[in-house]
Amino acid sequence: MKQQIIIFDTTLRDGEQSPGASMNTGEKLRLARQLEKLGVDVLEAGFPAASEGDLDAVSKIAAKLEKTEVTALARANKPDIDRAWQAVRHAAKPRIHTFIATSDIHMDYKLKMTRQEVLQAAIDAVKYAKSFTDNVEFSAEDGSRSDRDFLCKIFEAAIEAGATTVNLPDTVGYAIPHEFEDLVTYIISHTPNIDKAVLSVHCHNDLGLATANTLAAIRAGARQAEVTINGIGERAGNTSLEEVVMAIRTRANYLPVKTAINTEQIYPTSRLVSMITGIMVQPNKAIVGANAFAHEAGIHQDGVLKNPMTYEIMKPETIGLSTSKLILGKHSGRHALRTHLKNLGYDLSDEEVNLVFKKFKELADKKKHVVDEDLEAIVTEGVLRTADIFRLEYQHVTSGTTVLPMASVKLSINGRPVQGADYGNGPIDAVYNTISKLTGSRAELLRFSISALTGGTDAMGEVTVRLRENGLVALGKGADPDIITASAKAFINGLNRLEYLKTHPVQTPESL
């Protein structure tokens, strides 16, 4: 009988440490519900000691989820653990996740602690966490660069103190698959009580090897994989949930294990994460990228038409990517829209459906067919951003080869209407100058990109921006058939995210 790999999702904690990927409480709650629908076993909802906002978000997620274990991260000290328990205590299945660094370079330069002091801190933290819940995880930060025998010693002590899961992180993405597999094998054979706990791995992607290292660890006996949707995370990101899960499913002959993931929810979850964070999925991303199931070469197309398995090792339907999308038009009704939104993973209230339906009808009057990507953009604009400080009421641009570009913009700032006009080097620059003047923002535009959500000249344009102000970085995203309007929406979304960061200061923990 195949053993089950525990899928520990940390999109809401480690994934949120991607530059600019901050989420508000409503967005986190919506994503948490989707992750439960996806079937993750454990959801790391945040780091409650970081801020009141994080504490509030983790608490609300813990109270809402019914089947998924909810865990909170805590450094190896009592105040952090108190906050973690305060956040998850009402969860149906609570877990406390505490950690401390174990590599010599971290102990010497960051912690300024001896091995014995770190060992004792780990024991004390696990025992204290155990006084709240029987479900305690201990992580050895920078484990892949730690002394092997010290790792075994601290894992043995943590398990003896009550840890039910011990986690081996490749914190800086330094490991090579064969080396990491050998390290896991060594830990299992040299930790006397390892059979009393689940051995977990948490890999970063600095060398592009996070998934490979995780799969190597599973082959060696690790039974929990810590992952994020789309592989988002600090620096180069984390192990990608979709890659690990589909590798296990596709290569069952090589990896004789299983997961409880509902794979048909992978693509909808990927899209939701991308929309909420504003981080676009690269086209050639494995499993969920736009080109993952695309075939352009003639010989490939011929083979796929004769038998899809000639060039496709998995069916697109298995990840929830339907080859026959329902296309809605201006004659489609409210019930059809609600049903289709539910199939896309959006279980909306009557009020939210009414809001989306109004926007849907407006878009349907502008273009012949409304497809999934259009609907997702409407949901993002109309539902996921309802608590924004700045909202676009209208924008009007005068531009051309013989006139100086000028924009007139009307905004709502905390419900109060303001309007103004300004010039720029081009129409978008003029809009951005006007918005900056109206909001009083001094944000610097670091990146601007635009893409079409669908084919055709009437396609929705999707704009992504990266903004920086006073050391804070935020991503903004907007979609509209008019690319200048989409650009304005993206800029305003980025400004709203900056405002959220200003009012919710986050103390970022050391990454695992």
Q: Using the 8-state DSSP alphabet, how is residue 292 labeled?
A: T
**Three-state DSSP state, 234:** coil
CA-to-CA distance for 140 and 508, rounded, in angstroms?
18
CA-to-CA distance for 334 and 357, rounded, in angstroms?
7
Per-residue exposure over 275-285, b if at least 16 CB sit within 10 Å of its own CB, e if not:
bbbbbbbeeeb
CATH class of 390-503: alpha beta
Contact between residue 389 and residue 414 where contact means Cβ atoms under 8 Å apart: yes
According to CATH, where is 3.30.160.270 located in the chain?
390-503
The gap between the terminal CA atoms of the chain, to the nearest Å, is 32
Q: Which residue has the tokens 């690790």?
A: 222
CA-to-CA distance for 282 and 232, rounded, in angstroms?
12
Q: Which residue has the tokens 């999308």?
A: 325
Per-residue pLDDT of the chain (512 residues; tens, 9 = 90+): 799 999 999 999 998 887 667 788 888 999 999 999 999 999 999 999 998 989 999 999 999 999 999 999 999 999 999 999 999 999 999 999 999 999 999 999 999 999 999 999 999 999 999 999 999 999 999 999 999 999 999 999 999 999 999 999 999 999 999 999 999 999 999 999 999 999 999 999 999 999 999 999 999 999 999 999 999 999 999 999 999 999 999 999 999 999 999 999 999 999 889 888 878 888 899 999 888 876 444 444 455 455 666 656 788 889 987 654 455 766 778 888 888 787 776 778 888 888 888 888 887 787 767 777 777 778 776 676 656 899 999 999 999 999 999 999 999 999 999 999 999 999 999 999 999 999 999 999 999 989 887 677 777 888 989 999 998 888 888 888 899 999 999 999 999 989 888 877 656 666 67
Distance of CA 94 to the CA centre of its chain: 21
Structure tokens at 415: 């419900």
CATH number of the domain at 3-277, please? 3.20.20.70
According to CATH, where is 3.20.20.70 located in the chain?
3-277
User: C-alpha distances in angstroms, 365 versus 329, 332, 362, 375, 477?
Assistant: 9, 12, 5, 14, 23
